[in-house]
Amino acid sequence: MLDVSGSMGYGSHHALSKFEYGACLAASLAYLMNRQRDAVGLTAFDEEIVAMLPASSRPGHLRSLLVTLDRLETAHETNVSKPLHQLADSLTKRGMVVLISDLLDDPEQVIRGLKHFQFRGIDVIVFHILDPDEIDFPFEVATRFEDLETAEEVMAVPGAVRADYLKAIGGLIDRYRRELGASGIDYQLLNTNHPLELALLSYLSTRARAL
């Protein structure tokens, strides 16, 4: 599952946007799964499911998936939990779900949605994608911040809000890592400055344990 909500469109000048990074990751995983002769599908979402390609291992399916990825655009607000429940209810076979998202939503609802897959006997991997700016908050001068989902703008002096921001984002990351890990869900934080190999190794490790 690939998050295409507006917040995924953010990218600092020294990195891919979160959406571009996530799309590259999705394409890499799809290629790897296809080479292993696993059926692979794609679900893209923001507030709702906006594109769905059912899992298949047929010849030509990988190309269809890559074309679908290439045509996706970011838009609208985030509601991660709703499409998670929709997809979990629609799956009829056991397998693996990979979520690629910045998870900038209500963590309680997101975690509940991910546990829905486990209830259905489905293994879950979560790739939490954040831009280095979102992790480190490197801003020094008064800056105008724009919400990419609502277009709302706010002026802030970084020195006055940095400590609170870093505490909040650190708490969010720690909560996902702690609660997902306790539930047996594989969680990997990915900085868009870091190589995709980290994500691929995590996927291979989880797949090996599932066999």
The CATH number of residue 8's host domain is 3.40.50.410
pLDDT at 52 over 60: yes
Between the alpha carbon of residue 82 and those of residues 8, 90, 112, 120, 187, the distances in Å are 17, 13, 10, 16, 20
What pLDDT, on a 0 to 100 scale, did the predictor assign at position 161? 83
CA atoms lying within 13 Å on the CB side of residue 47: 5
Q: What is the mean pLDDT of residues 37-46?
A: 94
Candidates 61, 64, 69, 72; CA nearest to 27 is: 69
pLDDT value, residue 211: 57
Q: Structurally, how many domains does the chain consist of?
A: 1
Q: Whole domain around residue 152: which residue ranges?
A: 2-210
Number of other residues whose CB lies within 10 A of the CB of residue 70: 9
Quick one: pLDDT band at residue 18, thresholds 50, 70, 90?
very high
Instruction: Report the chain's mean pLDDT, rounded to a whole number.
Output: 87
